[in-house]
């Protein structure tokens, strides 16, 4: 049976431990030819720098061949249905990595494809990023159980994925979002029912206080460009600056998935400060995704 990765919750705790151990080995220079003679199709319906390059590079390092499809250069952009594309790609490739808009598009791809489908970001979730961010935090702080992590800003795909991660890693997640811009209620409720400890607050200071990590993301995500002006108004007061970081734990780090907008969700000073681990986060995407592909693609031959 193939296994997809559409959400962090698609992995068991044991699988996550295995992925992190392999990612650590890859980071230390371990080589693998797990994808030798295998192809991976990367469907990008939205822009990307880190995700696209880290997947392409990771596939090459594992001995595989990446094929990138974008809407303008494929029949997908001319209206060929996902269910048709999924069945065609399954014959040529051994996995499909997809970045798209509505989450239902990747669910449809996964339901029709008979190879593993990996979520490279949807409007709802960004699981590869948050899985990798949890690896980055565990490398620095060890066990995350009972530690406080703060989220400041939009309750977007990143925030939703942090909520999913909270029950798996056992940290306390405090989210400060402007009124009307909170995370997806269904994801919160499901995480809480799995035992996640999540606090939704209105004041960024409550999210940052004593946290080991203060996290933020853009105020207007891809697809929300027309709302950028309105969001800039509504998100005033939700910038992670030095005053906010001063409330966090003395060894706290600043996190951002990037790209960052200096002067909006984060000040230049914080982004460039020694507390900022954004470059390490971006680098770790490569190793964690290599480990993830190795896990998901291990059963499939031919």
Catalytic residue ranges: 99, 126, 129, 217, 257, 285
Q: For the CA atoms of 252, 13, 49, 68, what is the dihedral angle to 10 degrees?
A: 180
The CA distance from 7 to 60, in Å, is 24
Residue in 248, 300, 238, 237 with CA at minimum distance from that of residue 275? 248
Told to check if 258 binds ligand CP by CB under 6 A, we report: yes
* 39 secondary structure, DSSP code: E
Whether 211 contacts 255, CB under 8 Å: no
The CA distance from 20 to 8, in Å, is 13
The CA distance from 22 to 293, in Å, is 11
Write down the least CB distance from residue 101 to ligand NVA, Å: 10
Give the residue with the Cβ less far from ligand NVA, 112 or 235.
Answer: 235
The sign of the CA dihedral 49, 50, 56, 60 is positive
Residue range at the interface with ligand CP (CB under 6 A); choices 44-52, 189-197, 223-231, 241-249: 44-52
Q: Where in 84-123 is the site for ligand NVA (CB under 6 A)?
A: 121
Contact code string over 203-242 relative to ligand CP, x by CB under 6 A: ----------------------------------------
Residue range at the interface with ligand NVA (CB under 6 A); choices 84-92, 111-119, 153-161, 247-255: 153-161
Whether 254 contacts 243, CB under 8 Å: no
With CB under 6 A as the contact rule, the residue among 221, 267, 281, 289 that binds ligand NVA is 221
**By beta-carbon distance, which residue lies closest to ligand CP?**
51
With CB under 6 A as the contact rule, the residue among 158, 165, 177, 207 that binds ligand NVA is 158
The residues binding ligand CP (CB under 6 A) are: 48-51, 121, 129, 257-258
């Amino acid at each position: 049976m193939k296994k997809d990765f559409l959400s962090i919750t698609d992995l068991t705790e044991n699988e996550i431990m295995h992925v992190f151990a392999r990612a650590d080995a890859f980071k230390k220079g371990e080589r693998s030819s797990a994808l030798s003679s295998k192809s991976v199709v990367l469907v990008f319906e939205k822009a990307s720098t880190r995700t696209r390059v880290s997947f392409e590079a990771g596939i090459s390092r594992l001995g595989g061949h990446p094929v990138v499809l974008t809407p303008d250069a494929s029949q997908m952009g001319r209206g060929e249905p996902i269910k048709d594309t999924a069945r065609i790609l399954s014959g040529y490739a051994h996995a499909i990595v997809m970045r798209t808009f509505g989450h239902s598009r990747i669910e449809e791809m996964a339901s029709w494809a008979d190879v593993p489908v990996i979520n490279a970001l949807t409007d709802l979730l960004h699981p590869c990023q948050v899985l990798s961010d949890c690896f980055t935090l565990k490398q620095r702080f060890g066990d995350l159980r009972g530690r406080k992590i703060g989220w400041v800003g939009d309750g977007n795909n990143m925030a939703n994925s942090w909520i999913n991660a909270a029950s798996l890693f056992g940290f306390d997640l405090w989210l400060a979002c402007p009124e009307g811009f909170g995370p997806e209620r269904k994801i919160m409720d499901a995480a809480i029912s799995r035992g996640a400890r999540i606090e939704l607050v209105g004041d960024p200071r409550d999210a940052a206080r004593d946290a080991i990590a203060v996290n933020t993301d853009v105020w207007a995500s891809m697809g929300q460009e027309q709302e950028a002006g309105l969001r800039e108004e509504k998100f005033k007061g939700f910038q992670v600056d030095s005053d906010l970081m001063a409330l966090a734990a003395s060894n706290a780090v600043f996190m951002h998935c990037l790209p960052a907008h200096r002067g909006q969700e984060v000040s230049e000073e914080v982004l460039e400060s020694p507390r900022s681990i954004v470059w390490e986060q971006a680098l770790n995407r490569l190793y964690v995704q290599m480990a993830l592909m190795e896990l998901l693609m291990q059963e499939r031959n031919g």
